[in-house]
Structure 1
């Protein structure tokens, strides 16, 4: 028992001396052994100490950091959802046969200041390591977190002193020490997935913006903002913007949280416009307008609030928006809305990933890996589905427009162009055209004796016959009742002689006789009266059409006189 008591007292004494006298020999604290397979995760409550009086700037020397360490107290609970400055001291021993490098990763999304000192037990010089958000230019880039390289000589041991300060710690502030192979593998996976997902989102946003430039439809602009703001937000939160532009005036990683409410405001407007809530579901339109307004207010006020409050607000918005979007997609799917299947699938992916992400940033569900990567991949999939829903919406609009265009310009009985289509065709012709105004004879007798069904059949047969006769020489239009117009594209040269004009007129007469014979073979009491006018005889298309109409009536009256005689 006496020996056991002596050993306990000695161990406590050595621990106390190692804590308050960092230069105390290394046998006082065995430390963590770094081997070829090293993959150490040091939990926050095992390593960090809270600094009560936070300095305005990081400690300028190892001595200053040691003073902060001695005057601080160890944390007793996880640092997750806390803020402020913390210090740590880690004892490390290189057990490799030769020199080797390890990588130290600080598990924190947002870092304002990060400083490290390596105090070797074998060498006099102290190595200074800057891994803050703005001071990590030479550090290896690992998105969503901060990391730095720690090269050690053969059998080198010593203390790694760390200082960190941030507005908010979204995750437990663990420290991971891994070998080079593991780090580069993690770096490749993390950076590749992040860059791929952000590139997909920004590309899809650019496509939607291009559609807006071409169509000027508000739904395409809302879609571009929805996808683009999510892409920009994650580019900021991952540290990509800071890595690319090295902005020193602000910590750009915080912008991801600030941008998020604006992205949801755009998503809300996109949803309203996509499903046409303004005309079909007015109560839902008011709901989504309200969501947009609330999100905009929060987005504008967040820069004035502490980041911890902003972080909480963004998560609350996500918790409200995701179920709302999923329920909306499901409801629209019940209504057999063709766009809902893409919208619902995308938001299900996004919703499940966001649930995982939020839980991984809480005290309930900590220690989960790759939460950001899962959200990014799911969000990229969501954005792709959102663009598919927009494409389906545009396709439907195009079909509706084509149907309306067709109905507005096509005669429903004969399925040839109507008066509106004739006006458009006349507006597009140049100086080379011939107009033939046509009126069917005997249509009243056919209606009275054979019925209106036969009268309609005569009109349809006549329209088809004339279209086949004209072929590529021109178009036929029904301008009303039994009146039709031919617009021929027979070329008329500037020096066209009367003989050539007469030849063109004879060709029209021949075709007209052919059509009339076809009609009379089925309806003997029918016939065709027509008048021909060409561009050289008038100043514009309207005058030419009026002249052809006049000549048609002249032709009809001459036939009536011959019939009476």
Structure 2
């Protein structure tokens, strides 16, 4: 009987030790100037049978804690509900405010209970994504304040539930000065980056409304969707609108495929792959379609799978964009330098970001800020590449416009330029229709080079004679038109007389070099016709009358 009693006593003692060991916790001694970082191994316990709702009381949370076992590994890329118990001792002699920061990007439910040894419990602390109304707005993570009296000690009980833990679920206990400093930097960088991206997207959208060029719309979507995605992932949208129906921090991952689809189309249009590199055009069209399909099905999948798919898309896009930038730079494409620089910044930061969400690189708490700053730089570069593209298009258009409206031989306006000029004049204009005489003789006797020289010299002479009174246009082989502003003359009769004098001067200049040449012309003004076409036809008719009069009364040649 004694042996049995002793065995029972031993078993009871072992059971007591096991029960006590189940409450083993991390103990932190809090000093004003010291921040404490508690790694996520050995402090969290997985709740195997997750409750339908979070624990409503400290006793319920204790029960969950007792019925679970410690997790030895990091919680990176895990999901579900976890509980923890931390022993805290405020070793200062004054009342101190501490902040507890849970390094989790996506938090569906987060509850804290402070069990003081000296005082009554202060109640539940809600730091979940939707319940953090009274907690500090610290983007990219969750935090809550913990005021402690002098020499106060106790136990901090934590409950957290999320569909995915992108980072190690470590806990920082920070003094108020350090907390507000870090909060300011994090919030400032986040707001600056998001505001910059959305502003650049708005600029690109305005360009689209003005130009209706698809590349500007793709650029706006590329930049804007990245900005909206980070506004969601950082918690900014939740902090601004307090949306209760969904956890908006998940939307960043959901938006990302659409951003890459836009980036793919922007790249294709920026480098004109449709006409210059058809295989690359098919590649980027295919990538856009895949990203669009992925973006549509991600909401139907678990968030962990969606998170993995978005990261796979990033791993595909980043090297592809860099390779394209290098390839276009080799082709001396003027847009590639901005595109490559931006994607190098974004690619390196995204590589670092992905590593921080894996077991290969842990403990990196500012990966999001680095990516956002790099992405902001990328967006600047992308907009610069778009500006360079638009500048080139403007130059191409100006060159085409010039070639279409400028006569290549005489470098004055052609028939199309005259048509445009006629549509812009008011009812105060004079038209002079001009036809060279003797051009055939010059070509036959002296050669076409001399004929061309005559046309060039005549055009230059007429332009100098007109000065600011009007413009000269070449409308055919040896046909020219003067379009004059009648307000440049004192009255209509004096205008006709002055035009005739200028014609005589031009003819004398031509005949001094090519004696066999001459000028026939006809003058008409706006009051003589109902529109510009009739006025031009009238001037043309008078030009032929002038030419016929020369043949009827030929000028005697010098003997």
Do the two structures share a fold, i.e. TM-score over 0.5?
yes
**Selected match of 1:550 from 503, 522, 541:** 541
* Residue of structure 2 in register with 1:464 after alignment: 460
Distance in 1 of aligned mates of 2:365 and 2:455: 75
Alignment of 1:154-553 (within 5 A): 154-491=150-487, 500-553=491-544
2:25, 2:43 within 8 Å by CA — same for their partners in 1? no
1:433, 1:492 within 8 Å by CA — same for their partners in 2? no
1:15, 1:29 within 8 Å by CA — same for their partners in 2? no
The DSSP-based 3-state class of the residue aligned with 1:547 is: helix
**Compared CA separation, residues 365 and 56, structure 1 to 2 (3 A):** same
The structural deviation recorded for 1:288 is: 0.4
**Compared CA separation, residues 34 and 412, structure 1 to 2 (3 A):** same
1:18, 1:29 within 8 Å by CA — same for their partners in 2? no
The structural deviation recorded for 1:106 is: 0.3
1:211, 1:220 within 8 Å by CA — same for their partners in 2? yes
1:50, 1:87 within 8 Å by CA — same for their partners in 2? yes
1:474, 1:487 within 8 Å by CA — same for their partners in 2? yes
The structural deviation recorded for 1:127 is: 3.1
Distance in 2 of aligned mates of 1:561 and 1:354: 87
The DSSP-based 3-state class of the residue aligned with 1:287 is: helix
- Which structure 2 residue ranges, 5 or more long, are not aligned? 1-10
Distance in 2 of aligned mates of 1:215 and 1:138: 47
The structural deviation recorded for 1:125 is: 3.2
The DSSP-based 3-state class of the residue aligned with 2:554 is: helix
- Which structure 1 residue ranges, 5 or more long, are not aligned? 1-8, 22-27, 494-498
The DSSP-based 3-state class of the residue aligned with 1:563 is: coil
1:44, 1:173 within 8 Å by CA — same for their partners in 2? yes
1:418, 1:477 within 8 Å by CA — same for their partners in 2? yes
Distance in 2 of aligned mates of 1:563 and 1:206: 72
Bigger shift: 75-84 or 403-412?
A: 75-84
User: TM-score, normalized by length of structure 1?
Assistant: 0.94
* Residue of structure 2 in register with 1:25 after alignment: none
* Residue of structure 1 in register with 2:143 after alignment: 147
Residues 172-222 of structure 1: CA deviation (Å, up to 9, x unaligned): 101111111111111111111111111111111011000000000000000
Distance in 1 of aligned mates of 2:154 and 2:555: 125
The structural deviation recorded for 1:543 is: 0.9
**Selected match of 1:125 from 113, 121, 134:** 121
Residues 15-66 of structure 1: CA deviation (Å, up to 9, x unaligned): 7565668xxxxxx979210002221111112211111111122111111111
* Residue of structure 1 in register with 2:34 after alignment: 38
The structural deviation recorded for 1:369 is: 3.3
* Residue of structure 1 in register with 2:73 after alignment: 77
* Residue of structure 2 in register with 1:5 after alignment: none
**Selected match of 1:48 from 32, 44, 65:** 44
Distance in 2 of aligned mates of 1:416 and 1:393: 29
Residues 330-374 of structure 1: CA deviation (Å, up to 9, x unaligned): 111111111111111111111110110001100111122311011
* Residue of structure 1 in register with 2:3 after alignment: none
1:439, 1:552 within 8 Å by CA — same for their partners in 2? yes
Bigger shift: 173-182 or 305-314?
A: 173-182
Residues 218-242 of structure 1: CA deviation (Å, up to 9, x unaligned): 0000000001000100110000110
User: TM-score, normalized by length of structure 2?
Assistant: 0.95
**Compared CA separation, residues 199 and 333, structure 1 to 2 (3 A):** same
**Compared CA separation, residues 37 and 13, structure 1 to 2 (3 A):** farther
Distance in 1 of aligned mates of 2:239 and 2:204: 27
Distance in 2 of aligned mates of 1:20 and 1:358: 35
Bigger shift: 555-564 or 250-259?
A: 555-564
The DSSP-based 3-state class of the residue aligned with 1:559 is: helix
**Compared CA separation, residues 469 and 100, structure 1 to 2 (3 A):** same
* Residue of structure 2 in register with 1:6 after alignment: none
* Residue of structure 2 in register with 1:3 after alignment: none
**Compared CA separation, residues 20 and 74, structure 1 to 2 (3 A):** closer
* Residue of structure 2 in register with 1:496 after alignment: none
Alignment of 1:59-70 (within 5 A): 59-70=55-66
The DSSP-based 3-state class of the residue aligned with 2:75 is: coil
Residues 247-293 of structure 1: CA deviation (Å, up to 9, x unaligned): 11100000000000000000000011011111111111100000000
Bigger shift: 393-402 or 64-73?
A: 64-73
